[in-house]
Structure 1
Amino acid sequence: MTRPVGRVVDVHAHVLFPEVDALVAGHPGLAAARALDARRNGPEALAVNGPMVGSRIPKLTDVGVRLAAMDAQGVDVQLVSPSPSHYHYWTDELTARRLWESANQATADHCAKAPDRLRGLGLVPLQHPGQCAAALDHALSLGLLGVEISSHAPGRELSDPAYEPFWARAAETGAVLFLHPFGCTLDERLDRWYLSNTVGQPAENAVALSHLVFGGVLDRHPGLKLLAAHGGGYLPTHIGRSDHAWRVRPDARNCAQPPSSYLRRIWFDSLVHDPAVLRHLVAAAGADRVLLGSDFPFDMGSEDPLGALRDADLPPAVLDAVAGGNAAALLGLG
């Protein structure tokens, strides 16, 4: 198969830091958080998750192993973000600060071992909105390109006014915000057959993006560089329903333009597991708004992201853009 023109960039890849999780070991809130996670996922999923993650520890932690896997995939550059299991949005302010400081530094150190091939994102504590701008600045000061965030924090949606200083600072600095859900508030309804992930993740993406759109966040901060994992979940494929509500219901018209127009102001990764859905995403968001993503190295990702991209039978120029050109522009890779 013909290799895409230019560098191939995977914007959805993770790194794991045992030293970060060590910061919460023995914390009184950890047991409750794990119990909630177990309730939401169910025992069958937890029985699979442990061995699955364990078998991937070398790819998640060892730069040499990571680079070899990238070579096998034909990937030149990865945008590396901490495993969402590091969010720990239940922690108090002091512990949260220790977590994001540690995760940001560890990510920067990991990427520094292969600076021509790895770029990184840090973390912010969404449960403490007052810390988010400082955490973002800390990540940027270490050479990271932005931060990874989940779809919500306990008791707060992304449309919460408390996040306004964070959005403003992100827009001002040009930081990349990688929206990657972790967990789903549908709880026990999804506790079998791994529905917590297969249904929960795209649902969380759609809810979070809808809060940013309908809540007017993208109107107030048009410069935000927002990158949504998992192709934005269900929202791009069902955006017509959002547009219809915006047209016919006054309570749904809290954003200045039809919701579909905002898809062209958001970036999306290509991890949708279906060639037809990927073609629809490109059509809905624009060929310049979709970037290659693999969810490296987890089992719900793609071991052959370029192959998945080729299966969509996109025009050559679009394939080249999604494979790396769009990411180079968004991330400033030159």
Structure 2
Amino acid sequence: MTVPTIDVHAHVLLPEIEALVAGLPGLAGARELDARRNGAEALAVNGPMVRARIPAMTDVAVRLAAMDRQGVDVQLVSPSPSHYHYWSDEQTAEKVWRLANEATAAHCAAAPDRLSGLGLVPLQHPEQAVEALDDALGHGLLGVEISSHAPGRELSDPAYEPLWARAEESGAVLFLHPFGCTLDERLDRWYLSNTVGQPTENAVALSHLIFSGVLDRHPGLKVIAAHGGGYLPTHIGRSDHAWSTRSDAGAGCAHLPSSYLRRLYFDSLVHDPHVLRELVRVAGADRVLLGSDFPFDMGSEDPVGALRAARLTDSDFHAVRGGNAAALLRKD
């Protein structure tokens, strides 16, 4: 049987989430922070860009037609990261993740042979995280999407240990997709908030998982890093050098940082065939999955073509195109 082409980085927009939080204390401040981080010029482009893509993120028929044009058989659909709302209090947070899990599952249920989904957990309230993950799994979702940090908490925070343990036990997928970079106004021009901010956040978050020993304590975690893991895979030698040279850098994890790349998964969305080849080299061809960031403008309209441009061997090409994701998501 031919392995399906599987895109693990695709988004759904959930207007009901935004209706839920509209007017609540904290939303205005979160939007002001987002505006400062992105800058006026980026916001002027973002609004029309997102509006033009609403049908592709809400209408299953439009989504499937786009997938057909791309040659994609299956999408792993995650909520737009704008739905994280990590500013919200306990009661609102629970409403957000319950609604996100339910709505994402309903969207995927319209085409169950072609769409699988991920839910949300409230990283700002770690005490709810396991319940939220179980709720997502109970709706038939394959796991959850998380950002690179929550206010005042990095992914190395011990408060997340129950989440990692439950995700490992259940086999749930954790899709690491940043939203917002803490470099703030330094990146507020030329869309640096995304082009520099996203790969920076990916690298920082993955470094927290590696150096803190999370991956030692939970070797069975299924973590997919968006955007090819950002800067970390191509600059992992610096991490290895620090771990080998400095007692403080090497105190938290048992092995060379580069060795942990082969315990993680990465999407292929790096926008450069040479970088994609390097990602495959350092992480292993069995750890890279096709990703498009559907349907945003910073994604790829032809993810299979972008993968083909890397000129991988046939076996590696087909592994990344869908074989790895089929095994990970049990779609084989």
Residue 200 of structure 2 corresponds to 203
Alignment RMSD (CA, Å): 0.8
| CA deviation after TM superposition for structure 1 residue 200, in Å | 0.1
Structure 1 residue matching 2:76: 3-state secondary structure = strand
| CA deviation after TM superposition for structure 1 residue 250, in Å | 0.2
Residue 112 of structure 1 corresponds to 109
Residue 21 of structure 2 corresponds to 24
In 2: Cα distance, 1:175 partner to 1:91 partner: 25
Instruction: From 69, 72, 86, give the equivalent of 2:69.
Output: 72
The amino acid across from 1:89 in the alignment is Y
Question: Pairwise mapping of residues 117-196 of structure 1 onto structure 2 (< 5 A)?
Answer: 117-196=114-193
Structure 2 residue matching 1:268: 3-state secondary structure = strand
Instruction: From 214, 226, 233, give the equivalent of 1:236.
Output: 233
CA contact (8 A) 1:5 1:320 kept: no
In 2: Cα distance, 1:32 partner to 1:197 partner: 20
In 2: Cα distance, 1:97 partner to 1:316 partner: 45
Matched, 1:294 2:298: no
Residue 251 of structure 1 corresponds to 248
In 2: Cα distance, 1:238 partner to 1:131 partner: 35
The amino acid across from 1:291 in the alignment is L
In 2: Cα distance, 1:251 partner to 1:235 partner: 19
Residue 266 of structure 1 corresponds to 264
Structure 2 residue matching 1:288: 3-state secondary structure = helix
| CA deviation after TM superposition for structure 1 residue 247, in Å | 0.2
| CA deviation after TM superposition for structure 1 residue 28, in Å | 1.3
Structure 1 residue matching 2:248: 3-state secondary structure = helix
Matched, 1:14 2:15: no
In 2: Cα distance, 1:73 partner to 1:239 partner: 32
In 1: Cα distance, 2:138 partner to 2:30 partner: 31
Q: What whole-Å deviation, never above 9, does each CA across 1:267-306 have from its counterpart, x for those lacking one?
A: 0000000000000000000010000000000000000000
In 1: Cα distance, 2:115 partner to 2:71 partner: 14
Structure 2 residue matching 1:252: 3-state secondary structure = coil
Q: What whole-Å deviation, never above 9, does each CA across 1:132-170 have from its counterpart, x for those lacking one?
A: 000000000010000000000000000000000010000
The amino acid across from 1:263 in the alignment is L
Instruction: From 55, 59, 76, give the equivalent of 1:58.
Output: 55
Long gaps (5+) in structure 2: none
What is the identity percentage for the equivalent residue pairs of Structure 1 and Structure 2? 79
Q: What whole-Å deviation, never above 9, does each CA across 1:96-151 have from its counterpart, x for those lacking one?
A: 00000000000000000000000000000000000000000000001000000000
Aligned residues: 331
Structure 1 residue matching 2:298: 3-state secondary structure = coil
CA contact (8 A) 2:225 2:264 kept: yes
In 2: Cα distance, 1:257 partner to 1:23 partner: 45
Long gaps (5+) in structure 1: none
Instruction: From 272, 276, 279, give the equivalent of 1:278.
Output: 276
Residue 46 of structure 2 corresponds to 49
In 2: Cα distance, 1:35 partner to 1:112 partner: 35
Q: Report the TM-score, using the length of structure 2 for normalisation.
A: 0.99
Structure 1 runs (4+) deviating above 3 angstroms are none
Instruction: From 307, 310, 314, give the equivalent of 2:308.
Output: 310
CA contact (8 A) 2:3 2:326 kept: no
| CA deviation after TM superposition for structure 1 residue 5, in Å | 4.7
The amino acid across from 1:311 in the alignment is A
In 2: Cα distance, 1:17 partner to 1:163 partner: 26
Q: Report the TM-score, using the length of structure 1 for normalisation.
A: 0.99
